[in-house]
Structure 1
């Protein structure tokens, strides 16, 4: 598809006058002009392209169009921030005082204020998503125009380097929307609490939640790929239902709204020199396990580091063992020398319930270290990505995460002559000491692979959501996939794909109230049947379906009888010398035979499809088209032959006009007799009910 058409389809109507004028740039470029003396068909510079033309094009591209688009983008984003601040001021009276009382006493008034603010937030969120699309499509337009110039008119001047320098000096297409998204998420969460759309979880102040869960987790995971052009649209869709989750508890709400960005998460994966864990994961071997080190941010900031062991079970379910460890103890822990004795002893010195956690920690440490020792594991791969997570405050049954800027980097030391990582160290110091960030341009191309899409992951704790209506149900965000409804028996089971797996099934209260509960887990050794009992018997078809097929067959036979009657009457009424009339009668007879055969064939075919309950389309226009077009052609030929015969008789004065014995001519008596027979046959057919 040409970019001009793509641009026209991507225009947001309220902002149509603020997009790049790509058509004007093409007119200034005069792209359709080519050199008359060009023998190889190349797009070389035409003789008419002058320095004045070059200056006009560059002036329009760099100073007019780019300034127009950048000014609109900056002003619109500023207006969105101001409108967000107005929404915050509108919600200020709904904040509960320190003594627990409300500033607005009337509950109905509080609800109206919250609903009004919700509508404003929805408008802001929609325009923010459109603004991101606006920036992206215009940025592409400038690059396309510069590329077209350099290819067609760039013999002496190249405009692309100048454009790139100008773009780097402007905030256009480099605006970070994360702070505004966090503010919107905070207000959405606050409004949901005031409207009673949050469950009885832990009390929150309306801000984003904090990830503080440790230990062993059992959950079901569903993953999807998201195109980078749709990332912001997906974020704004989710944050209307779930608040953003913050990974750093020390971040205040004010800092979150002003400067906080999505965190960068680093995962260091372990494997054996023969990549046994990877091969088991690819082959989906039962009990396939993985081990990784994980932290958020840069190591210089001393983040919390977790050592996680994940074991896969049937389907997408998994069990995770997670241990928190300090950076200085990682090397000794991997060698089996450090067993976290001090932490375990400190936990055992406390009361009994916590000592149970100490015993669980001892088992986790022993399990991970024995796993490393038996599999001979070492760091082989680093995965870095920027994560935006969404979770209901105080309710960890469901978490949605969106990972962008994903890069896979070699971390192995398998090649002892040229190792990517120092064998005596557990990580690559060249990356962590220099605090490299995406896109990691300093790393050699053979050591890094950048994933071109974003990853959307939906985690459901315990595999199934509880049967009682959850806060997510009341937020109108459930899906057939997340609630683990069984698929229809007529359809094969399949994995969910795309965003359709969590788009609301309906927005009505009736459907929410009558939504079926999730099916309980089956006992061990018991599997759900593939075919239900109600579908295992013979296929039952209603009588009206058969009758409809029979009515269609009878109508085709009616057409067959009419055409046969017409052809028979025409043939009998024509004289022996009238070859044209008799030929047309034979043609009509062929159409009658075709109509009868077509009706019978379609009747038998459709009856078979009905018995098989086929999903094919029962319509077939081939037969009616043949009959209609054939009759039309026959009538035209009949008129043409009659007209030629009339003209031929007038050209021969010795021949008596209108003679009944003239070959090729039908007398009036013959025609009247033929139509009399046709009418009699039609009346007889009508009396018989055909």
Structure 2
């Protein structure tokens, strides 16, 4: 399906006259070229730019008007909510119907925010496509010029965070009928026996706003200072990760070695933050019986350099805590942590290596950490090291030429990695045997998220920015050039209340039309142009976009072009194999298909590391694995000894045929000993190196049975003769 058709099918019917006239602009180019023998004149260019400017004005004006309308509706609904809460707390009270009406009104506003965000995204895509088509067919270069005009009317840059925070507060009040949960935002609840589960997901920028709106209907946005007006800096989080030139901490965290540490300096808000948190994360293997821990303490920014150099006594860091009468045991534990971190930094020559920056939206009931969801957007990593001879920090604990001014356009592309997706982290504390909430299960199974277990900002930033300094790469490295958008798998999204005004004709605003077409799918023009099969989405790096806030991606320093060539060369074969596999399962084995082949693209690829690099695959190794190897080896030895005893008996007490059989059994026994020893050494070495290899042995047992059967057969044949 071409983009023009896709636009018609996925646009919001209420806004249909406010979208870019994509087909008209495309026809304008075709008609002018046809009338001028395929020549594009300056007059044609001026006329096209005039039309394009008119479309941009229309879209920008509507977006601004609609955004202000939503703001007014939120303020009016807030007044109604305040009245309803005041009436509910009075003697007369208020009816349940009024709260239900308010909840429906807020749901309708939430659907409007979702529709407006989709409106902006779809129009931005339309502008990008028509400009690309213009440049390709007319050979006039309009893209860089119009990019400046788009930035002058940035309808696509609105992230609606302020509205989301406001709507979250109102919806929480209405949902709880004027009695929202109160408590310490950092508290962990009252459970005694619980299992904590943390999972991480990538979220495509097109799905971020919808995801936030879905979550706020179940969990409120966590606001640490509800009396303060929301500002962008409130959600900013920056971390400086430390390591040495050998990248010892990077390697340990990537391989998940027992006791592997990560040391970082974190602050919240802008560069003027006075309190810095020194944090140490320690990985523990499950078999140790201990849990991975994250410990931290606060220190004043002005004292941090001296502390890291060993010139600032640890005791002075906690003077204020002692003066305030804090628990002495806790203070001693923090002092021990501070000494250990200080000692490690000095003796192992740790220094700033990578900075991560992102804006975080956290969802949680205050005082109840059983369900905590955080969404990190505008994620970027920057270099802080001096491994190439350039001291970026000038001896400081962090560089000061950047702050929270994402996307850090002042830095060259070699010093910044703008991550193309948002990162969703779901933390659950459930009673033993208890299932997570149903909406959580639907959320993580939806098309909105892509699971990426054990994703780490520190590891990703180091691998991308210090590519020439690392040998091991994280397992998700080869997945970075595969778009994570997927077709809608089940009805899950923002629902508009039945009978409410606004939005499309359907009750749901999920981008799926009656003919089954999903707005997430790539249009035919893109697919044909890139030579991609049906259902394959363009990777973020494949989009020939300028430096834009919707999707920013820098090319890798090396290895990228080779991976793309290998992927395109093998894509046809991969599609054929997927088709054959599906046919065999459905028609020969009579199995239900596991999933739509289009959604399996991400998982069906065979990844290969770039030349000179290795992919580190997480491998869980426990002591029982080593014991299992030893048991297997001893079982083979027991069998070999038994065969040797039989051979010795035949040799000593048998005739000439028995001697021949004894030789055969002895050979089998010796072969089994040698084979089992070689397999044991290979497996033990793989376990020590934590290699992700296939430990199953389908050759040894089968081969042994065949050789043993052959020896027995020869023995019978000799006896029969």
Same fold (TM over 0.5): yes
Aligned to 1:465: 430
What are structure 1's unaligned runs of at least 5 residues?
36-44, 203-208, 483-493, 508-608, 618-690
Are residues 1:238 and 2:203 paired? Answer: no
Residue 218 of structure 1 contacts residue 320 of structure 1 at CA under 8 Å; is this kept in 2? no
Aligned residue in 1 for 2:80: 90
Task: Establish whether residue 252 from structure 1 lines up as the match of residue 230 from structure 2.
Answer: no
Aligned to 1:140: 125
Q: 1:50: Cα distance to partner?
A: 5.5
Inter-CA distance 31–218: structure 2 relative to 1 (3 Å threshold): farther
Q: Which moved more, 1:436-445 or 1:76-85?
A: 436-445
Per the alignment, residue 310 of structure 1 pairs with 281
Secondary structure of the 1:173 match is helix
**Counterpart position of 1:512:** none
| Conservation of the 8 A alpha-carbon contact between 1:224 and 1:498 | no
The worse-fitting range, judged by mean Cα deviation, of 319-328 and 262-271 is 262-271
Matched, 1:354 2:309: no
Alpha-carbon deviations, 1:205-245, whole Å to 9, x = none? xxxx85699xxx99542111111111111111111111112
Q: Which residue of 2 aligns with 1:337?
A: 311
For 2:324 and 2:398, how far apart are their aligned partners in 1?
35
- The secondary structure found in structure 2 opposite 1:305 is strand
Please say which structure displays the higher CA radius of gyration. Answer: 1
2:489, 2:315 → 1: CA distance?
46
8 Å CA contact 1:129, 1:236 repeated in 2: yes
Aligned equivalents of 1:457, 1:159: Cα separation in 2: 40
Corresponding residue of 1:381: 354
Change (3 A) 1:317 1:123: farther
Partner residue, 2:693: none
Partner of 1:103: 90
2:66 is equivalent to residue 73 of structure 1: no
Quote the Cα distance in structure 2 between the aligned partners of 1:72 and 1:336.
59
CA displacement, residues 261-313 of structure 1 (integer Å, 9 cap, x when unaligned): 652211100112201111111112122211100012222x2342101101123
Say if 2:150 is the partner of 1:167. Answer: yes
Q: Is 2:166 the partner of 1:183?
A: yes
Contact 2:85–2:177 under 8 Å retained in 1:
no
Q: Deviations over 1:531-556 (max 9, x none)?
A: xxxxxxxxxxxxxxxxxxxxxxxxxx
Query: Given the superposition, is the C-alpha separation of residues 293 and 234 from structure 1 closer, same or farther in structure 2, using an over 3 Å criterion?
Result: same
- 1:439 match: secondary structure: coil
Given that 2:196 and 2:430 are in contact with CA atoms closer than 8 Å, whether structure 1 keeps it comes out as no
Aligned to 1:57: 48
Please say if 1:291 is aligned against 2:263: yes
TM-score of the two chains, using structure 2 as the length reference: 0.57
Aligned pairs for 1:212-223 within 5 A = 220-223=197-200
Cα distance between partner residues in 2 of 1:383 and 1:414:
18
Q: Considering only aligned residues, what root-mean-square deviation do their CA atoms show, in Å?
A: 4.0
5 Å-filtered alignment, 1:169-568, equals: 169-194=152-177, 202=183, 220-246=197-223, 249=225, 252-253=227-228, 255-256=229-230, 259-260=231-232, 263-299=235-271, 301-314=272-285, 318-342=292-316, 344-348=318-322, 354-373=327-346, 375-415=348-388, 417-422=389-394, 424-431=395-402, 435=403, 437-460=405-428, 464-466=429-431, 473=437, 477-479=439-441
Contact 2:236 2:404 in 1 (8 A): no
What is the rounded CA distance, in whole Å, between the counterparts of 1:181 and 1:166 in structure 2? 28
CA separation of 1:117 and 1:467: change in aligned 2, threshold 3 A: farther
What is the DSSP-based 3-state SS (H/G/I as helix, E as strand, rest coil) of the residue aligned with 2:155? coil
The alpha-carbon deviation at position 454 of structure 1 amounts to: 0.9
Say if 1:478 and 1:402 are closer, same or farther in 2 by CA, change over 3 A: closer
CA distance 1:116–1:469, shift in 2 (3 Å): farther
* Residue in 2 that maps onto 1:593: none
Would the aligned equivalents of 1:304 and 1:325 in 2 still touch at CA under 8 Å? yes
Partner Cα distance (1:290, 1:498) in 2: 32
Taking a change above 3 Å as real, the CA distance of residues 78 and 350 of structure 1, as seen in their structure-2 partners, is: closer
Superposed displacement of residue 373, structure 1? 4.2
Partner of 2:19: 19
Q: What is the number of equivalent residue pairs in this alignment? A: 458
Where 1:267 maps in the other structure, the secondary structure is: strand
Shift of 1:49: 5.1
Higher relative contact order (CA 8 A, sep 6+): 2
Aligned to 1:366, the other structure's residue is in SS state: helix
Distance in 2 of aligned mates of 1:369 and 1:502? 51
Q: Is the alpha carbon distance of 1:467 and 1:123 closer, same or farther for their aligned partners in structure 2, counting shifts above 3 Å?
A: farther
